[in-house]
Amino acid sequence: MKLRSIELALPGAAEAAAFLADIWGMAPAQVVGNIHYLRGSGSFPYLVALEESGEPYVRSTTFVCTADRLEQLKLSVTEAGLPAAPVKSNDLGGGHGIIVELAEGELLRFLTDAAEVAPIEGADLPVKLTHVVFNSADAEATGHLVEDVLGFRVSDRTKGMVFVRCNDSHHSTAFARAGFVSLNHIAFEMEDMDAVMRGIGRLRDQDMAPAWGPGRHGPGANVFAYFIAPFGPVIEFSTAVNKVPDDYQAGAPEDWSWPENRIDQWGMSDKDFGGLRAAEEKFRHRRDWEAQPLNVLTEENH
């Protein structure tokens, strides 16, 4: 299972795409109708889809998996009674699978048979998304839900977040104990720490300063720099998060406490709590599809 992409709808999709391509450092992939697709240097056909819309919202966050894993998901999602529907992706790379609405409205899409593309050169391109994080009213409950129903694993719990993995990377998603439900941030995985730093420089050329960072997180141990994108959401340059073994013992909040005046390993940067919070309010989840049976394969129709 791999995190692949996020699909957003928003006013000013073309301007947002131009920012991501010209300043953030992504490569334009394609424009199809009113949807702008942007890619990184890795093998996914796109990482971000931006669809023109009157209001900003999250259409979906997309994971790719094997056909077997998809069948397991259809069964467990059906048994859990979560709203879901079969989907055939019209986005770049195609593929088919399901879209699921979690208890607090997060929309996760799981595809199989989605095509990949040849990687492209460019040390300053994001390679891929490293994680997409959501704000939750009850992050603890959502952590349990994705473990029980999606087969994800909670890697660590901190005072602020429940970190969740879907493969051996420490987290591909996390649920922030925010008290409200929305997109928290989208993190782009850069080639290395230098690429993160050069990204900060590129934004500094546009008079944009990090809302938080540079720093190094506790859980995942990634180097980070968060910015508030001109088109609304919080976006992050990140190095890859740590890999963890199958039997990784999930840490508890008391295992991840910081000394006075520290909220990361370095302590060199201020955090714009108010600005980040306001940006996190911008993108909510919006389901624009009807729940339908998932055609679970049984002994009879297998």
Contact 202, 210 (CB under 8 A): no
How many whole angstroms separate alpha carbon 6 and alpha carbon 129?
A: 9
Indicate the DSSP class of residue 68. H
Q: Closest distance between Fe ion and the C-beta of residue 186, in Å?
A: 9
Q: Please report how close the Cβ of residue 174 comes to Fe ion at its closest, in angstroms.
A: 7
Q: Which stretch binds Fe ion (CB under 5 A): 8-16, 71-79, 97-105, 179-187?
A: 179-187
# residues near Fe ion by CB under 5 A: 2
187 vs 244, beta carbon nearer Fe ion: 187
C-beta separation of 84 from 100 below 8 A: yes
Give 57 or 237: the residue with its C-beta nearer to Fe ion: 237
Would you count residue 187 as binding Fe ion (CB under 5 A)? yes
Its sign, for the CA torsion 36, 40, 45, 46, is: negative
- Least distance from C-beta 217 to Fe ion, angstroms? 7
Beta bridge partners of 57: 9, 284
> Which helix H or strand E contains 193, and what residues bound it?
helix 193-204
CB of 161 to Fe ion, least distance (A): 9
**Options 13-21, 80-88, 98-106, 229-237: segment touching Fe ion (CB under 5 A):** 229-237
Q: In the bound complex, what is the minimum distance in angstroms from residue 238's beta carbon to Fe ion?
A: 6
Distance of CA 112 to the CA centre of its chain: 18
Q: Give the interface segment with Fe ion, choosing from 14-22, 82-90, 105-113, 236-244 (CB under 5 A).
A: 236-244
Q: Which H or E run includes 149?
A: helix 139-150
Site membership for Fe ion, residue 84 (CB under 5 A): no
Residue 190 near Fe ion by CB under 5 A: no
Cβ atoms < 10 Å from Cβ of 37: 24
Nearer CB in complex with Fe ion: 156/236: 236
Stretch binding Fe ion (CB under 5 A), from 56-64, 147-155, 187-195, 196-204: 187-195
d(CA 118, CA 132) in angstroms, rounded, equals 24
Q: Which is nearer to Fe ion, 77 or 154 (CB)?
A: 154
- Per-residue binding letters, 109-128, with Fe ion (x by CB under 5 A): --------------------
132/181 with CB nearer Fe ion: 132
- Of 6 and 87, the one with the shorter C-beta distance to Fe ion is 6
Which part of the chain contacts Fe ion (CB under 5 A), choosing from 9-17, 183-191, 243-251, 275-283? 183-191
Which residues in the chain belong to E strands, given as ranges? 2-10, 27-32, 35-39, 48-52, 57-64, 84-88, 96-101, 107-112, 128-136, 153-157, 161-165, 173-177, 182-189, 212-216, 223-228, 234-238, 284-285
Tell me whether residue 189 or residue 236 sits nearer to Fe ion (CB atom). Answer: 236
d(CA 230, CA 246): 39
Nearer to Fe ion, 95 or 213 (CB): 213
Q: Point out which residues bind Fe ion (CB under 5 A).
A: 187, 236
